[in-house]
Chains A and B, each alone.
Chain A
Amino acid sequence: MSDSPAAPAAFGTAVEIASAVKAGERSALGVLEEHLGRIGAHESSVHAFNAVIEDEARSRAMEIDDAIASGAEVGALAGVPVAIKDNMCTRGVPTTCSSRILDGWKPPYDATVVTRLREAGAIVVGKTNLDEFAMGSSTENSAFGPTHNPWDLTRVPGGSSGGSAAAVAAGFSPISLGSDTGGSIRQPASLCGVVGVKPTYGAVSRYGLIAFGSSLDQIGPFTTDVHDAAVIMDTIGGHDPLDSTSATDGHGSLESVLSDGVDGLRVGLITEMTGGAIDGIAPDVLARVRAAAEALAAAGATVGEVSVPSSVYGLSAYYMVAPAEASSNLARFDGVRYGLRVDGSNTAAMHTATRTEGFGDEVKRRIMLGTYALSAGYRDAYYGSAQKVRTLIIEDFDRAYADFDVLLSPASPTTAFEMGAKTADPLAMYLNDVCTIPSNLSGQPAMSVPFGTGDDGLPIGVQVLAPLMGEPVMFRVAAALEAAQRLEDGESR
């Protein structure tokens, strides 16, 4: 892959950059220019961004440098470039959800996560591409064209946060933020060989995240290593009074638990996702998940198998709940107040013309699906049943966590697939999220940790799942996997 643009942490990890910038060894502006240089060289082939905001980023970097020069306090992420998925509001910077319907709209406010990153000294370099309104698993459903996988430009980066995953894999920024409704962080993280975290529902504020499935959406980081992921989580997490679903009792610092090891932890392989009831998991992926279990056992954990029987219904339940909520969340894009307006002879005709032109096919498909699932006479059978499946999944996970501290599964059934391979078959595309969706339905945390490559030489991620607010134990396991992989690679960083 030497000719690919993949170069994670091309100019160091976030922790390394912040440390050097704070120590005066590197300037924030210098770090920024290095990254902008890579973006200039490779963005045309990767297309990770909907917008790169060079000028704003440069003035911000100079502010950081001035602050450091004057001896002022700077945050944990001083001078660290960050890319933000383009469904999170950035004040004065167009936020598109990769949809034509938001044409021209500039939010008058920052999402809470953006505010917290800025306060920590991070520098927003751009807004990354996604499947329109985060609906998709390949970042091919973007009104602005697809993103390519930096490891192999003929392959997809996964989705829907494909732009954010690709930006980190390509070394455009050491860290980025994505959102995960059914796997939209973990699956692209797996396909792009980076760390991706879906936090506990409520651990990170959703204020300013343009909603897809409100009861499922969570914001989380993409990073090149587990340490950076812990630092980002510590920065963006915690209670936000602007989000009523934001938890008041968090899980505490993650950076501080990374070296705690896994000795004595009980690790359960989810039967259904490791050769059991769920079809379509590639053998090379399965092999890496088993290798991960062995590595953890070698590090002192006890490993077993555990069944989460209702997880097989996750996909079906998800495709009721998420579209139902989306059909309501996306109603406001009606041409009245912001974004695209296509005129019509009356208000209803204007709504129809605007939404017909503004939304892509996948978004329309899900709005129709969700509208149907909620309609009178069908709601109990569809939306109601799906909510019951959710309860079953939570109960099954609870049973599993009675015997295990964390669970393991693949993050994605396969490595990155060819672009266009699944665009004509929505169901095949939906199956990409079969291993990740149950965690969104249960609200529990899960993350993808790079753990080697497949037969095609492309990255494979192992998914670590934990109970509600179980991020500390999840990160300990992730750190152990990362250490084992480095040992395997003969690396020593």
Chain B
Amino acid sequence: MSDTTTGRREPTLPDGWELVCGLEVHVELSTATKLFCGCPNEFGAEPNTNVCPTCLGLPGSLPVMNGAAVTSAMRLGRALDCRVQPSVMARKNYFYPDMPKDFQTSQYDQPTNEDGHLDLPDGTTIRVERAHIEEDTGKSTHVGGDGRITSAEYSLIDYNRAGVPLLEIVSHPDIRTAEEAKAYVAELRGIVLALDVSDARMEEGSMRVDANVSVRPVGSDELRTRCEIKNINSLSSLGRAIVHEANRHVDLWTTGERPLQETRHWDEEAGRTRSGRSKEDAEDYRYFPEPDLTPLQPSEVDLEAVDASIPELPAQTRARLADVAGVTPPEVGLIVDRGQASFALDAIDSGADAGRVLVHLTNNLADGVGEMSSSAFAGLVAMEVGGELSSTQTKEVLADMVATGRDAPVVAAEKGFEAMDTSELEGLLDGLIADHPGEWERFSTGDEGDAKKMAGFFTGQIMKATRGQADGKVVAQLLNSRK
């Protein structure tokens, strides 16, 4: 996960070859209602309960555009620095049982958003061709056979998802490594979450990624035959699918063959892509403007309202947090991705040591901060830095605070983590020196290696005697002061 935010490049292909990849990302908008009707837009309801004549495509029904979906689309467009423009809905005609009207209402040659870009945390710019509005389909379950439509005995269709608003964000083929692809999706997800237009969960399908993959010799600017990879369900699958597919292309080109332009499906278990529909028998979608909807004409006022509603985006958040913490933006990528930036900033603002704040958030708070407030967290960090708690104790107190929301001193006291009196430690050390004079001699006058070894010995003895409650740093100071 961390490599997606640092954008660290790993070799994707054999020497001399370069990946050419563009991504099509579908994001389900979390509007209250569907794109063209008043049915609830929710995940996980009883099949075919969130339906009405319009989203079932019943004869005579008509669509009415959901203004909130259009606003969400325009907000993402602005966040991706797209040209946000007047647009027209179109019909994409093809027969499919999941699609109640046997056409999908989508934007075609006049999308809401065009010509933007997304900058990866490492500074790489990926151009965004378009981000357009379209409706989702229903969902089939194929019963019997091998679970695919071709061999099923029958199929059950749930139309709850039919008509749910989607944004399709199409990048230019500017992506050169699998890591960049993952970083692109992670960054896009961060922006979507910051805008609060979708929950963008790849596992639940509210964010879906198709990858267009081709390869070319390094130094060439040609675009060779590409394959579209579907059925990618996680960021790590995305990386594996691209690496696999690109290497398959290299193998074909280097053995004198060539890839076919086709849709391929990622098989997670087998770790390979499988041939799907060939583009040779690709359908003619017979696009034409949707006559049941009027063109969308955002006014200047609309656009100003959209601009005013854009919150701080992840790149800005990273820069701000990194600046405050005195680190580089990629180092706070994970914290920003997890939505913990404002918590971190608040804690630092309350006086907590920035370095410890970042360490705890990155390593110990991956599952969230739970009930803990940023000021309580700042209090804990202060106790840790002040030597009142050892790092082991700090972690234990932290876990309790996340679960209960209590303050650090309360938890520490309850656990008996009293700050150890230095005089107590001195007494302990006096006893140890008396019991182990040879070892003390080696610590005091021996060479560097000996001193280090013996420091470890005495520290270990003290820890044993205090059952780990002593602060390592305090013990080290004590040993050196008595040298």
Residues of A within 8 A of B (CB): 88-89, 95, 97, 102, 105, 107-109, 111, 206-211, 214-215, 241-245, 324-325, 327-328, 331-334, 336-338, 346-348, 351, 371, 374-376, 379, 383
Contact = CB atoms under 8 A, between A and B. Distances in A.
B292 A336 contact: no
Contacts of A111: 60
Contacts of A210: 59-60
B60 A328 contact: no
A95 B97 CA distance: 22
14 contacts: A97-B59, A107-B58, A111-B60, A241-B64, A242-B62, A243-B62, A244-B62, A325-B291, A328-B91, A337-B57, A338-B59, A346-B150, A347-B155, A351-B95
Interface of B: 53, 56-65, 91, 93, 95, 97, 100-103, 149-150, 155, 157, 284, 286-288, 291-294
B97 A102 contact: no
A332 B101 contact: yes
A92 B222 CA distance: 61
B101 A375 contact: no
B60 A88 contact: yes
A334 B95 contact: yes
A331 B292 contact: no
Given A206-B62, A376-B284, A331 B102 contact: yes
Contacts of A325: 288, 291
B97 A347 contact: yes
B53 A332 contact: no
B58 A108 contact: yes
Contacts of B62: 206-207, 242-244
A108 B53 contact: yes
B61 A207 contact: yes
Nearest to B64: A244
Contacts of B291: 214-215, 245, 325
Contacts of A337: 56-57, 100
Contacts of B53: 107-109
Give the secondary structure class of B's interface.
loop
Contacts of A243: 62, 64
A331 B97 CA distance: 11
A109 B51 CA distance: 13
Nearest to B36: A244
A107 B59 contact: yes
A374 B286 contact: yes
- Counting chain B CB atoms within 10 Å of each CB, the highest count among A97, A102, A105, A109 belongs to A109
A324 B114 CA distance: 28
A334 B102 contact: yes
Given A108-B58, A109-B58, 4 more contacts: A95-B59, A207-B62, A211-B292, A346-B150
B294 A244 contact: yes
A210 B62 CA distance: 10
A334 B284 CA distance: 18
- Counting chain B CB atoms within 10 Å of each CB, the highest count among A207, A241, A324, A348 belongs to A207
A375 B58 contact: no
B60 A107 contact: yes
B60 A332 contact: no
A108 B60 CA distance: 11
A324 B288 contact: yes
A160 to B, nearest CB: 16
Contacts of A324: 288
Nearest to A351: B95
B16 to A, nearest CB: 38
Contacts of B294: 244-245
Contacts of B97: 334, 336, 347
B101 A331 contact: yes
B18 to A, nearest CB: 32
